[in-house]
């Protein structure tokens, strides 16, 4: 019991910890805080494997067809800015920690894109060097006001990171090698992040970026459902047409 108490002290603070241990279900603020912390930790743990289905999908198909490199580049930079902004403002790690793991996985996917597109060695080095330079954002030497403006810019980066992929899907009438599991988890994760931000951070810039990300991620999920159904219908039509052609030839 003492270990549970100590864990809750760290998670929600001594006051809420005692209230929860006494099963005071009428203490709504503490219950909301506990839910927010639990969601935050769940998102972080889930983010460790978030892009793994996408990585496995690429390895299986040996192709990155239908995946927008521009989307992944912009998304990765947006996450780096969000990480630096939250870290330097000393926000709870549970409200932004997934950004670190998603960034690492995004870099792996970007490297895979370059590999399957047979890019030159200099392209690989340039990509890695650009992300290494982002380390300056985490330094106290980088002006905090400028970082705040960069955090605000993530609203536009969110549009820039998702809109190219949404356009590619619309143009191809297909979601290509995109993984539905990854898309769905991203959408659910942004919904949960909206709740945790409202409960713990109360920063309109961060909240706005998550709301916009939720709308865009939801659009990608909807596209996958629509175009997947369209693809199945087309396959059925082609199969029926093939069978009719065979009967006529016979």
* Predicted local confidence at residue 1, as pLDDT: 59
What would the two tokens of residue 33 be? Answer: 């805080």
> Cα–Cα distance between 61 and 52 in angstroms, integer?
14
Average pLDDT, the chain: 85
* Predicted local confidence at residue 250, as pLDDT: 57
**Residue 173 φ then ψ, to 5°:** 55, 35
* Predicted local confidence at residue 81, as pLDDT: 92
> Cα–Cα distance between 41 and 90 in angstroms, integer?
17
Three-state secondary structure of 12-58: HCHHHHHHHHCCCCCCHHHHHHHHHHHHHHHHHHHHCCCCHHHHHHH
Quick one: what percent of the chain has pLDDT higher than 90?
Answer: 27
**pLDDT band, very low/low/confident/very high, at 122 (cuts 50, 70, 90):** confident
Report yes or no: 150 and 44 within 8 Å, Cβ to Cβ: no
Closest CA relative to residue 83, chosen from 67, 113, 104, 111: 104
Q: Does 52 have pLDDT greater than 60? A: yes
> Cα–Cα distance between 167 and 177 in angstroms, integer?
15
Burial class (CB in 10 A: 0-12, 13-18, 19+), 98: buried
**pLDDT band, very low/low/confident/very high, at 137 (cuts 50, 70, 90):** very high
The SS3 call for residue 64 is coil
> Cα–Cα distance between 73 and 131 in angstroms, integer?
10
For residue 11, give Cα distances in angstroms to 20, 22, 38, 85, 166.
12, 16, 9, 22, 38
**pLDDT band, very low/low/confident/very high, at 217 (cuts 50, 70, 90):** very high
* Predicted local confidence at residue 204, as pLDDT: 87
For residue 118, give Cα distances in angstroms to 58, 105, 107, 239.
15, 20, 16, 35
Q: Does 245 have pLDDT greater than 70? A: no
* Span 163-188, average pLDDT: 88
Torsion sign over Cα 228, 179, 152, 94: positive
Query: What is the Cα gyration radius of the chain?
Result: 22
Cβ neighbours, 10 Å, residue 146: 10
Report which DSSP code applies to 206. H
* Predicted local confidence at residue 222, as pLDDT: 93
> Cα–Cα distance between 29 and 13 in angstroms, integer?
12
* Higher pLDDT among residues 142 and 131, named by residue: 142
* Predicted local confidence at residue 243, as pLDDT: 55
* Higher pLDDT among residues 212 and 234, named by residue: 212
């Amino acid at each position: 019991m003492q270990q549970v108490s100590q864990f809750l002290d760290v998670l929600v603070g001594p006051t809420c910890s005692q209230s929860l241990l006494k099963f005071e279900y009428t203490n709504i603020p503490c219950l909301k805080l506990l839910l927010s912390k639990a969601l935050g930790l769940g998102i972080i743990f889930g983010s460790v494997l978030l892009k793994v289905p996408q990585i496995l999908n690429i390895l299986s198909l040996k192709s990155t067809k239908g995946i927008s490199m521009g989307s992944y580049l912009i998304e990765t930079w947006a996450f780096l800015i969000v990480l630096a902004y939250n870290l330097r403002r000393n926000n709870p790690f549970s409200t932004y920690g997934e950004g670190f793991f998603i960034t690492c996985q995004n870099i792996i996917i970007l490297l895979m894109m370059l590999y399957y597109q047979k890019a030159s060695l200099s392209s690989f080095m340039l990509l890695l060097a650009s992300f290494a330079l982002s380390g300056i954002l985490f330094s106290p030497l980088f002006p905090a006001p400028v970082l705040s403006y960069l955090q605000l810019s993530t609203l536009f980066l969110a549009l820039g990171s998702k809109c190219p992929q949404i356009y590619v899907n619309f143009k191809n009438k297909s979601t290509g090698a995109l993984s539905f599991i990854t898309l769905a988890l991203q959408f659910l994760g942004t919904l949960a992040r909206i709740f945790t931000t409202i409960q713990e951070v109360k920063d309109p810039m961060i909240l706005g970026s998550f709301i916009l990300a939720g709308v865009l991620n939801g659009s990608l999920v909807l596209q996958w459902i629509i175009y997947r159904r369209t693809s199945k219908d087309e396959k059925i039509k082609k199969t029926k047409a093939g069978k009719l052609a065979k009967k006529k030839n016979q």
